[in-house]
Chain A
Amino acid sequence: DIQMTQSPSSLSASVGDRVTITCRASQSINMFLSWFQQRPGKAPNLLIFSASTLQNGVPSRFSGSGSETDFTLTISSLQPEDFATYYCQQTYTTPYSFGQGTRLGLK
């Protein structure tokens, strides 16, 4: 199975900050990497797929990069609604797997 490891596990930031979350796969997954945002009590919401493609309707302050084993999610200027938990996920091979999550909180 492919293990997905995110860092950091938690992060504190302020509105307007630039934030980067990293995700590492235990083996190459090409660009088969998605990023999700999850607010408390809600379903995950797809932000980015294919490592760097923005899902329709997602604000352009979100961006993704990377390939093979190392990936990043960047939020260029944090907005109040961005404080949530973020997950990466690989769909390169089954069993599909998620990172453990990064909780982004208000400083």
Chain B
Amino acid sequence: QVQLQESGPGLVKPSETLSLTCTVSGGSIRRYYWSWIRQPPGKGLEWIGYISDTGSTNYHPSLKSRVTMSLDTSKNQFSLKVNSVTASDTAVYFCARMTYAIPGRFDYWGQGTLVTVSS
């Protein structure tokens, strides 16, 4: 059974960098896209971007200037960095797997981790 688990600091100061890692177990990181999605408290879901198993990336235009995603296939992990954070970046951050098959579907998700931006 595929499982995804987010990890990283739960509190980040304004203007600093948010860093999260998602560890994939029970399956390979190959042949999938790996996404980050966030959900501000009490609000809806926002797709942040994805990284493919070959390392190609696609970011939401509204976040593109501040987001970097990376992949470590040897550890079956992928990561998210968001720099220059503000209070509006406070959210539960989910990692998720998206299939290569068209149309892609987000079939496995991590449980989510709350990141609060506050001094």
The residues of A with any CB-CB pair to B shorter than 8 Å are 1, 30-32, 34, 36, 42-46, 49-50, 55, 87, 89, 91-92, 94-101
Report the bound CA distance from A34 to B58 in whole Å. 20
CA distance A90 to B58 in the complex (A): 15
Distance A95 CA – B35 CA, assembled complex (angstroms): 12
Interface residue ranges of B95-119 to A (CB < 8 Å): 96, 98, 103-107, 109-112
Which A residues are in CB contact (< 8 Å) with B60?
A: 94-95
Pull 20 A–B residue pairs with CB atoms less than 8 Å apart, ordered by A: A30-B103, A32-B103, A32-B104, A34-B106, A36-B106, A43-B96, A43-B109, A43-B112, A44-B109, A87-B44, A89-B45, A91-B103, A91-B104, A91-B105, A92-B103, A94-B47, A95-B47, A96-B35, A98-B44, A101-B45
CB closest chain-A residue, reference B94: A43
For window 1-52 of B, CB contacts with A under 8 Å fall at: 35, 44-47
CB-defined contacts of B45 to chain A, threshold 8 Å? 44, 87, 89, 98, 101
Instruction: Assign chain B's interface to a size class.
Output: 20 to 34
> What A residues does B94 contact at CB under 8 A?
43-44
Given contact pairs A44-B109, A91-B98, a sample of 20 additional A-B residue pairs in the complex whose CB atoms are under 8 Å apart? A36-B106, A43-B109, A43-B110, A43-B111, A44-B94, A44-B106, A45-B109, A46-B105, A46-B106, A46-B107, A49-B107, A89-B45, A91-B104, A91-B105, A94-B47, A95-B47, A95-B62, A98-B46, A98-B47, A100-B44
Contact A89 B106 (CB under 8 A): yes
